[in-house]
A = this chain, B = another copy of it.
């Protein structure tokens, strides 16, 4: 298959096309995955998450530059919810990464949410597989906010960087405890702002609580400072990424996390496929009964599940 071979040869246009197919659920996307899958499992997937306004895009940009200066090739998957009336221009600051667009060692791709529950993590995972097959050493996945999306994305990364920022307050920083608990590297960005010390104290307290609750955990998450807009902190963060990769390899966790990710992907695809088949076979009649409140949702599910058995 031409496109799959081109993806494996690292050709950018082929990678972009494959990701579009996967995002659009074009069956050709699944065909590409079938061909490339045995050749994946090498890229180090690094998730970057934190509240809106934490400067994640700028930080990602500086991490790309730092990784490139060390000779690593980098794929970036930027999660970018698009809007019918803005055309996704809200996150037009993605152009800040324009300085990397002529570098063949960097590939940047935005992914929209498409509004479907779980759809984002499925698309993101597929995009990571394509970038992995293209041969990128590191794949940075940059999220937009702090929600279930981000937890799903975190669950597919080998290493998760949590980015905080002074001045947003407890509620913003800590709003999704599931993400904080998943983090392996913590960064306070915009460290030149007022409130830096208070934010560091919050993170220290949180890391302290986490250590107490998991005394046996071998990895101690570092807490780093950055001023990404001035390029400060990228070196230390990349050092931490590299150290965590070494840790993952030494403990066998790298392969374990990759496997868990594939397992989750199968479950997500399966849920989607089976439900669509059941609806297609049962027609809309059962759903219409529910809408009229003559049939409750749980009984409807029993009937629909019977259709595919």
Contacts and interface: CB of A to CB of B under 8 A. Distances in A.
Interface of A: 30, 33-34, 37-38, 40-41, 51-53, 81-86, 88, 90-91, 93, 113, 115, 117-118, 120-121, 144-152, 168-172, 174-178, 180-181, 209-210, 212-213, 258-260, 262-263, 265-275, 277-279, 286-287, 290-294, 296-301, 304-305, 308-309
7 interchain residue pairs of minimum CB distance:
A147-B147, A83-B177, A259-B291, A37-B296, A274-B274, A271-B271, A30-B298
A144 B304 CA distance: 33
A151 B115 CA distance: 8
B265 A297 contact: yes
Q: Which of A93, A259, A262 gathers the greatest number of chain B CB atoms within 10 Å?
A: A262
A172 B309 contact: no
A121 B88 CA distance: 25
Contacts of A274: 270-271, 274-275, 278, 305, 308
A52 B268 contact: no
A229 to B, nearest CB: 14
A296 to B, nearest CB: 4
Contacts of A82: 177
A113 B178 contact: yes
Contacts of A149: 147-149
A111 to B, nearest CB: 13
